[in-house]
Chains A and B, each alone.
Chain A
Amino acid sequence: MLKQVEGSRAVAEAIALCRPEVICAYPISPQTHIVEALGEMVKRGVLAPCEFINVESEFAAMSVAIGASAAGARAYTATASQGLLFMAEAVFNASGLGLPVVMTVANRAIGAPINIWNDHTDAMSQRDCGWIQLFAETNQEALDLHIQAFRLGEELSLPVMVCMDGFILTHAYERVDMPTQAQVDAYLPPYTPRQSLDPSEPVSIGAMVGPEAFMEVRYLAHVKQMRALELIPGWAEEFRQAFGRDSGGLLHSYRSEDAELIVVALGSVLGTIKDSVDAMRERGIRIGVLGITCFRPWPHDAVRAALAQAKQVVVLEKSLAVGLGGIVSTNVRTSYTGDARAVRTVIAGLGGRPITRTALESAFTQALEGSLEALSFLDLDRSVVERALAREREVRRSGPIAENILRDLGVVGARIR
């Protein structure tokens, strides 16, 4: 059924259709409207049987999800930003134990300085935690990916993180097609755990493993993720047949068949990029897009094939590996068969900085002209940076950088961008 709803609401309804049995969340910022809506559905008895557990922290949220999943329940939680960092130890445990928890990460920046806005730093900080990481381009895809996530996670016995851009998607009202309960039930069978704690047949989960076996356990985790690469396209195809939508899968190419320049990105910024690409195509420029839906496992072969014809690649990413540059682009370089120097990194949208079509088209034009640097920062205010650097050169105790810059900029409230 078509609906005009907030992204968080759409995901909450989709989660409810997946019949989770335990939902746990720490009800404080950075939390989403998703669990708020789910909490309400459980309380009203619309979502039953399901236990909604208000926990005392994000660490507890993931720990409870682990416990519930180990006991054979379909478990869900959501978080973002510092909340994800606070649960990090348990995040690694969920995947190490092979428990198919599904978690929404409503992507946001990581402090300091404090910032509540969107970028991908939170999810990228956990990229090697052993979870499957999927990135949604639209609210429709976000809700579709959650339905696929339970199927995927439970079949492979792996946890799945569905990443959707905080605010840009979670707080946006747009049209979604909400599936029916019958459709979801037909696609997602009841959870049959591959392992579970059962008092009548006791086992240990989470024993200490020494040097004699740890390597093998970790290797098998890698094998499982590689298997996911083989299975994900099939499940996405099955989803397409059942729901009529091309959501999920490993990646999506757009107008890239004859493209000289391919822009690679994750998440909602793909929409703005596609509008830019359409405009540039009208001017006769051979440019295309590669959207990465599945970031972990990294779809090495699929990315290699998708970029095979491209002479130039621009990776636009919403996170910065301080001291290196791009995270996604470092991954892309391992899969690009051409000259690695043709892969350029554009860091954009950190801490909610709007990514505009004008800025994108300017960067893509520079790439085609050969003047785009290997690493660049979209819409970076150089004058602000120079002023801060000058201050540090002149005065040893020049004060905290963030506060000094805010003073330089004056009141920034209510700026349109």
Chain B
Amino acid sequence: MFQIRIHGRGGQGVVTAAETLSIAAFLENRFAQAFPSFGSERTGAPVVAFCRIDEREIRLREPVLKPDALIIQDPTLLHQVDVFSGLAPDGYILINTTRSFDALGVGEFVRGFHATHLCTVPASELARKHVGRPVPNAALLGGFAAVSGRVSIDAVAEALRQKFSGAIAEGNVTAAREAYEHVRQEIKEASHAKAG
């Protein structure tokens, strides 16, 4: 089972991201479960949502306590909420930012992690460019497809089209695809740096 925890703020589409990711996994014939951490539905308040992906039926109903991957929709949460709780050193971290892990002040924490598992993507900027609003969730899902390889970018695109419609859907798909390429490039550079 692969477990994803998404941290963000009310209004950033955190819950929608988890749901969309579960649809993408479902479209690839996997079992998936998505649910929010309930209660903080106010705009701007810290929000957590979860997604599990497996080859067989998922029965577990506890929150994701030991995530395999973290998606951080808002980097201001890094020093406010214990976002890294339970994450193993071989886990994946994807942060919505234009800055580096070091510049965000978490470079020390991720020292032992695989360089190719640590990615950043300017998701809010991509969303502003393609959707017209800085809602970073779709772009981050594109980035997640690239860094984790757990769902294909085509499945993410199809899931976005199921969740949204018309121009919003297409804008989100474009943002997701650009984020996917961005993260793929990042991973390529990280693995080259490692090889060099």
A residues adjacent to B (C-beta < 8 A): 2, 4, 6, 116-117, 167-168, 171-175, 268-272, 274-275, 352, 354-357, 413-414, 416-417
Beyond the given pairs A117-B39, A171-B36, A173-B32, 6 more chain A to chain B contacts, judged by CB atoms under 8 angstroms and listed by A's residue number, are A2-B26, A168-B61, A173-B23, A268-B61, A272-B59, A416-B48
Ordered by A's residue number, 26 sampled pairs between the chains whose C-beta atoms are within 8 Å are A117-B38, A168-B35, A171-B36, A171-B38, A173-B23, A173-B34, A174-B22, A174-B31, A174-B32, A174-B34, A269-B61, A271-B59, A272-B59, A272-B60, A272-B61, A275-B59, A352-B39, A355-B62, A413-B46, A414-B7, A414-B45, A414-B46, A414-B47, A414-B77, A416-B65, A417-B63
Are A414 and B62 touching (Cβ within 8 A)?
Answer: no
Are B65 and A172 touching (Cβ within 8 A)?
Answer: no
Are A414 and B48 touching (Cβ within 8 A)?
Answer: yes
B residues adjacent to A (C-beta < 8 A): 5, 7, 18-19, 22-23, 26-27, 31-40, 45-48, 57-65, 77, 80-82, 85-86
Residues on B with beta carbons closer than 8 Å to the beta carbon of A274: 59
Whole-angstrom CA separation of A172 from B22 in the bound complex: 10
Given A271-B60, A417-B65, verify A4-B35 contact (CB < 8 Å): no
Q: Which among A116, A352, A357 is the interface contact of B60 at CB below 8 angstroms?
A: A357
Residue from the set A6, A117, A167, A175 with the largest chain B CB neighbour count within 10 Å: A175
Whole-angstrom CA separation of A272 from B65 in the bound complex: 14
Q: Which among A167, A270, A355 is the interface contact of B35 at CB below 8 angstroms?
A: A167
Are A354 and B26 touching (Cβ within 8 A)?
Answer: no
Residues on A with beta carbons closer than 8 Å to the beta carbon of B48: 414, 416
Q: How far is the CB of A174 from chain B (nearest CB, A)?
A: 5
Are A174 and B46 touching (Cβ within 8 A)?
Answer: no
Q: How far is the CB of A99 from chain B (nearest CB, A)?
A: 33
Whole-angstrom CA separation of A268 from B60 in the bound complex: 9
Residue of A nearest to B82 (CB): A416
Whole-angstrom CA separation of A6 from B16 in the bound complex: 11
